[in-house]
Amino acid sequence: MKIEILGAGCPKCKQLASNVQDAIKELNIQAEIGKVTDIDKITEYGVMMTPALAVDGTIVSSGKVLNKDEIRKILAK
């Protein structure tokens, strides 16, 4: 599983990244976590508001910081 945090590195992006790491630990799954900070790449995904979360190349959230439980539900699917 590949998880990407899209954003410029603002505090909200950092919080989302932290929540993703916590959710992965709780689910005990293997995942590659990457950060996309290049604005051109972010817009290629069609994201207009950050932070955004992509799982295996698909945007699953944009414009808000998901909490750990919300992320767990997305990753458990």
Domain boundaries, the chain: 2-76
The vertex-66 CA angle with 8 and 15, nearest 5°, equals 45
pLDDT band at 17; cut points 50, 70, 90: very high
Q: What is the pTM of this model?
A: 0.92
13 is catalytic: yes
10 is catalytic: yes
Catalytic residue, chosen from 5, 13, 17, 53, is 13
Cα separation, 60 vs 20, whole angstroms: 13
Catalytic residue, chosen from 1, 10, 39, 48, is 10
Residue-wise pLDDT for 35-63, tens only, equals 999 999 999 999 999 999 999 999 999 99
Class of domain 2-76: alpha beta
Partners of residue 35 on adjacent β-strands: 5
